[in-house]
Structure 1
Amino acid sequence: MSSNHLPSRVKLVEMGPRDGLQNEPQTLATGLKVALIERLAKAGHQHIEATSFVSPRWVPQMADAAAVMAQLKRAPDVTYRALTPNLKGLEGALAAGVDEVAVFAAASETFSQRNINCSVHQSLARFETVIERAQQANVRVRGYVSTVMGCPYEGHITPQQVADVSDALYRMGCYEISLGDTIGTGTPRQAKKLIEAVSQKVPMEKLAAHFHDTYGQALANLYAVLEEGVAIIDASVAGLGGCPYAKGASGNVATEDVVYMLEGLGIESGLNLPVLASTGVWISAQLGRVNQSKVGQALSTQK
């Protein structure tokens, strides 16, 4: 496909407050989490994954999910989502008044067993009740598929495995399927093959790319799938969230870097890059970490 097939607009989904912070070693104070989410909304984000309703025993960084939702000054045009891996998490999220929830399955059997202690098939069966209950409450559900271009235990994952899991989540009622390169090993050709396979089962406009930058391939992979017709991208301000399976490796692609690339391609995202970049500088300072966004670093040295 030639580049004239690039979308004119991309929907960006901000993962920093959830996927980002839950993979950071230290826990951020509730007030700072709330401030981060509010700043991201001011930067133009309309889709923010705010928190996760999970057992604090497993993810201590997200123990204050209900408090975050309660303290948040919500912008009227922003969708605030929470990850809800089970019915208990969903009930907590509904009580907190989230706009949308998300569930996650893996394309890899071993990853599923190690990560959530059940097979891929069992995990999908569990989500059926979660999705039904969410739909009764008129809350939309997004589905995540992890390890789509590689697994830390199994190595190569076929596009067909990913297509099957994506298809199952979509049929159950997930309105959007986000494809996660959890360990960031994918390359552009692989990313294209992935989208070709999954888009046979799930409509292209329902697919999101959630690519990690562990091997420095995220932007190249995103460009490759934009050419295929993907127009939804998950990213994390300042590249928050290391890769939990590769010590010291970078995780999520930085939202600032994605927006800079999109602007260069003439693709609208609705985001204000200077405001976003200053948010990235601010949150990196709060966490005492290096800003993982190349664009954020470059812009901050120009001031």
Structure 2
Amino acid sequence: MTTRVDIIEVSPRDGIQNEKTLLSTQTKLELIDRATAAGIRAFEVTSFVNPKRVPQMADAGEVAQSLKKRSDTRYIGLVLNERGFERARLSGLEDVNCVVVATETFNRRNQGVAVDDTMADIARIAAMAHDSGVRMGVTIGAAFGCPFEGEVTVERVTEIAARLAELKPFEIALADTIGVAAPSDIKAKFSAVAREIGGIALRCHLHNTRNTGLANAVAAIESGVTRIDSSIGGVGGCPFAPAATGNIPTEDLVYMLDRMGVETGVDAQALIDTAQWLGAMLGVSPPGMLQRAGMFPPAAGAAA
């Protein structure tokens, strides 16, 4: 198993997009600053989508333009079409992530078009990205199950992944958007996709809807994945998925990997503090467990 995992912090995008409380631009930037201070070096910072559908992302351009540039940090913007890509590029982002959902019904709910139309959009974005020096990754959403069509086969996911690989993306992610996968599902699909896409990097995006998220993260790492998405506090969810819940909590993931001897370069205690702060900003109690239980062994001077 790998000895190093890179965490992509998605709380500024996926983490807050389903929350009722709209955070200010400055609060979003503070969230990124706090996570950076904790050691996070890759973020999905926002999504360039229709603000009428996702009002939490209405300030995408302002967030992107206000980021503190760091040579060792990736700032990724989610884009769904050419217009979104242009907005991201003009905002100064050098990394974008596109999404295609594995099933027709969910893709139409999420993006308003058929899967083939989304694939055509991604092909055009890929050409624009290559021409402008922007790195493009792609996420296959609902790769492990769909709330409208049920099970998603390995063959369906590998077919989409193979088509995406022809576009030469920087990375391909498989997303358990509604949190239905078990570790065996993770291993089966990542292994199959790896055989189809050659040397393209793999990334894993997990939701903890049915409490299998951390087990699935281990399964992904055992399958050779070195990039894992997570969200501080475990906040998050898709606005277009029924009963959506959050991503796996970053602090819980870091604690587990630390105990396993897998390096992340991230300070779990600093993430605990940030999770509690973020919960106060959103007016919620984040679902993450570490920010409730605390570190073990406890810090010197902590109550027994």
Would you call these one fold, judging by a TM-score over 0.5? yes
Q: 1:293 aligns with which of 277, 282, 288?
A: 288
**2:11 is equivalent to residue 16 of structure 1:** yes
Is the Cα contact below 8 Å between 2:17 and 2:57 reproduced in 1? Answer: yes
- Which residue among 127, 131, 137 is the counterpart of 1:132? 127
Q: Which runs of 5+ in 1 are unaligned?
A: 1-5
Q: Which residue of 1 aligns with 2:254?
A: 259
> Contact 2:178/2:245 (CA < 8 Å) preserved in 1?
no
Q: CA deviation at 1:201?
A: 0.8
The one-letter code of the counterpart of 1:35 is E
1:155 counterpart letter in structure 2: G
CA apart distance, 1:253: 0.6
Q: Alpha carbons of 1:16 and 1:116: their partners in 2 closer, same or farther (altered >3 Å)? A: same
Give the Cα separation in 2 of the matches to 1:291 and 1:297: 9
Aligned pairs for 1:72-221 within 5 A = 72-203=67-198, 206-221=201-216
User: 1:197 Cα shift?
Assistant: 1.4
Pair 1:44 & 2:24 matched: no
Confirm whether residue 278 of structure 1 aligns to residue 282 of structure 2: no
Q: Distance in 2 between matches of 1:287 and 1:190?
A: 33
CA-to-partner distance for each residue in 1:111-169, whole Å, 9 max, x for gaps?
A: 11222122211110111111111111101001011011100001000011111112222
- Tell me by how many angstroms 1:204 deviates: 6.8
CA distance in structure 2 between the partners assigned to 1:58 and 1:70 by the alignment? 22
Task: List gaps (5 residues or longer) in structure 2.
Answer: none
Residue 40 of structure 1 aligns to a residue whose secondary structure is helix
- Map 1:233-272 to 2 at 5 A: 233-244=228-239, 245-247=241-243, 250-272=245-267
- Secondary structure in structure 2 of the residue aligned to 1:200: helix
CA deviation profile, 1:176-200 (whole Å, cap 9, x unmatched) = 0111001101111111111121111
The 1-side partners of 2:283 and 2:109 are apart by 30
Equivalent in the alignment of 2:52: 57
In the superposition, the TM-score normalised over structure 2's length comes to: 0.93
Contact conserved, 1:101 with 1:139, CA < 8 A, in 2?
Answer: yes
Equivalent residues of 1:204, 1:229 under 8 A apart: no
Asked if structure 1 preserves the Cα contact closer than 8 Å seen for 2:17 and 2:237, the reply is no
Q: How many Å separate the matches in 2 of 1:107 and 1:211?
A: 15
Q: Secondary structure at the match of 1:33?
A: helix
Amino acid aligned to 1:82: G
- The 3-state SS of whatever aligns with 2:197 is coil
Normalising by the residue count of structure 1, what TM-score does the alignment of the two structures yield? 0.94
1:3 alignment partner in structure 2: none
CA 1:269/1:118 → structure 2, altered by over 3 Å: closer, same or farther?
same
In 1: Cα distance, 2:160 partner to 2:284 partner? 36
Partner Cα distance (2:85, 2:200) in 1 = 26
**Structure-2 separation of matches of 1:204 and 1:283:** 37
Contact 1:47/1:78, CA 8 A, preserved across alignment:
yes
Structure 1 CA distance for aligned equivalents of residues 19 and 171 of structure 2? 26
| CA positional deviation for 1:276 | 1.6
1:242: how far off?
3.3
2: CA distance, partners of 1:224 / 1:283: 29
> Are 2:217 and 1:228 aligned?
no
Q: CA RMSD in A?
A: 1.6
Map Cα deviations across residues 232-290 of structure 1 (whole Å, 9 max, x no partner). Answer: 1111111121354233x532111111111111110001111111221111111100111
Q: Partner amino acid for 2:242?
A: A
Structure 2: distance between partners of 1:281 and 1:162: 37
